[in-house]
Every structure is written in C-alpha cells, then in structure tokens.
Amino acid sequence: TLLGLVSHEYFHTWNVKRLRPAEFAHYDYSAENYTQLLWFFEGFTSYYDDLLLRRAGLIDDTTYLRLLNKTINQVLQTPGREVQAAAQASFDAWVKYYRQDENTANATVSYYTKGSLVALCFDLMLRAEGDSSLDDVMRALWLRCKAGPMAEADFAAVLRELGGRAYTRELAAWVHSTRELPLEELLGRHGVTVLEEPAQLAQRLGIRVTETSGVVIKQVLRGGAAELAGIAANDEWIGVEVAGNGWRMTKLDDLTLYVGTHKKVIAVVARDRRILRLELALPAAVTTWRLVLRDAALAQPWLAAIH
C-alpha cells in the first residue's frame, strides 16, 4: 500500500540512514557494497512499516493480519527459501536480487519478506518469554551503537541482555540456515490461528504468468505440477485438451472452465515457434495460509494502538 511504502521509507530515517551495517560505515558510492545484514535493515523495516500503521490507528487488526498474511504466503510459495538463507540473500543482493530472471524464485529468497518474518518471530518470542519485545531491542541497539554502524554481534548481545538468554540457536536457524520459521506456533501464542485454504490456480500449478496478451509463463516453480509436466518459462499457454476436446485459453482461469473433474489434461503450449502437447497432472490439494484473530486480548500487547 502507499501508506506502507511511506511508513517503510520514514522508518529508514533511523534504520539504515543512521543505524546501519558496519560495512556501510564509510559507504563507497563508486562500487558495490556488500553486507549480510539486509535481512535486518530492510527486513525489520518491512516488519515495522505495516505494524506501525496498525499502532497509529490507521488500519485495524483485520487489515494488518491480511497484510501479514500476504507476506507469509509470499515466502511460503517461494521454493528459493529452501535454498538460500536470509543472510546469504543479503550478501547476494547485487548479483541476484537486482538481477532477477526466470529462475529467481527457485534459487533465492527476498531479504525483505524473509527478514520481516524473522523480525516477527523475534518479536513474538521475546514477548512470549518475558517482558521485552523487538521494540526494546531496537531502542537498545540505537543507544548501544550510538545511532551508527552496527554488526550482527550487537544484535545478538542486545537479545541476550533483554531476553535473559542467548539466541544463538535462533540466529543460526532463522538467519543463517533455510530451516522453516516457527510462525504458526508463535502466532498461536499471541491469539492468531492459522487456517489452510485452497490456493489460487497459479499457485496450485506452480507457475507465475502474465496475461496481457494471452497466457505467458514467466516462472515455473520447482517441484510444482507445471515443472513436472515440462512447462518452461516463456512458454505461451495457448490451449488445453480435455477428454479429446481442445479449447483455446486466453487467461489462466479459462482452465477451470474446461477441466471439470478430470485429473489429467494436455497443456498445449507454443515454444520457440513449435507447438507442444504436454501431459499435466492437476494437483489434488495445494493450500495457502489464512490468519484469523482468535483472541484479541492476547494479540493486543503486540498490535495495540499507540495512545
């Protein structure tokens, strides 16, 4: 949203422009600058941009959870999260994030979205284990680093100080490995239930498309039905054959009009001037998350508006 973008850039006044990666203490504007901390500086800023809109009373709990829900599903639907850790995604920003191609979703994860979920997990865990929160961590880092260069060791030290224990295991798992984040468990402890519901058609098939001029495949996600069928990026999906009948497709949702109860169809695609007929097995069940506020009282210390 526009408000979220404004909030994000405003938060950067403190988090990036003042508090910043140690590697950026003396920024070289003539060359690429590398750091493993973009999951913190961009990711944590992404966490706070919508959360601060909620706390300012500009959006309600339902709207905030819908925005958070979207971020969670973006990460869960990115196979690259199983390949690249948040710290590595940060370091590779110049060579991967800013040079995206048809395989990006399979090989990388966004340090914006994954980093925002890391922030969420630290915030909810700190709140569940004691009287501190990520808000307290950010304030303490500001003072510790004198509103200047910061290293991951500073973050770890403040976590230990405020959380009463070392968070080495969490940093290793959430930031430096590809292990799944304990989102469902931590959200549940703060009054939010995770429900699973059927995914949209593109998500079920494991593709990302454009439909401005027919159905053109932009990305094929690893392990999905489309990849197994042999569909490739830049294919134009022009038709489908179901039980011997052929149908023209002009948008992806046309597929649902023709499939009915059939489990397999023939996808007719154009690739490099050739027409290919590919057997596509339709997945039985692919789900996506939906967040539901179960206990508003439990969630209020986290989501409460500022008065």
SS (H, E, C) 70-88: HHHHHHHCCHHHHCCCHHH
Q: Are 237 and 249 in contact (CB under 8 A)?
A: yes
How confident is the model at residue 200, as a pLDDT?
Answer: 87
State the sign of the Cα–Cα–Cα–Cα dihedral 79, 176, 66, 193. positive
How confident is the model at residue 145, as a pLDDT?
Answer: 94
What are the backbone angles phi and psi of residue 286, rounded to the nearest 5°? Answer: -125, 130
What residues in the chain have per-residue pLDDT under 70? 305-307
How confident is the model at residue 307, as a pLDDT?
Answer: 52
Q: Where in the chain is the domain with CATH 2.30.42.10?
A: 201-281
How confident is the model at residue 69, as a pLDDT?
Answer: 97
Q: Where in the chain is the domain with CATH 1.10.390.10?
A: 2-197+289-303
How confident is the model at residue 305, as a pLDDT?
Answer: 65
CA–centroid distance for 213 within its chain: 28
How confident is the model at residue 28, as a pLDDT?
Answer: 81
Q: Are 47 and 120 in contact (CB under 8 A)?
A: yes
How do strand 274-281 and strand 149-150 relate by DSSP bridges? unpaired
3-state SS, residue 124: helix
Kindly state the tokens that stand for 10.
């405003």
Instruction: Give the CATH architecture of domain 201-281.
Output: Roll (2.30)
Kindly state the tokens that stand for 208.
């990302």
As a dihedral over the C-alpha atoms of residue 270, residue 276, residue 282, residue 283, rounded to 10 degrees, the angle is -80
Kindly state the tokens that stand for 57.
């009373």
* Count of helices and strands (H, E) across the chain: 15, 10
How confident is the model at residue 97, as a pLDDT?
Answer: 82
3-state SS, residue 209: strand
CATH class for the region spanning 2-197+289-303: mainly alpha
State the sign of the Cα–Cα–Cα–Cα dihedral 95, 99, 101, 107. positive
Q: Are 238 and 268 in contact (CB under 8 A)?
A: yes
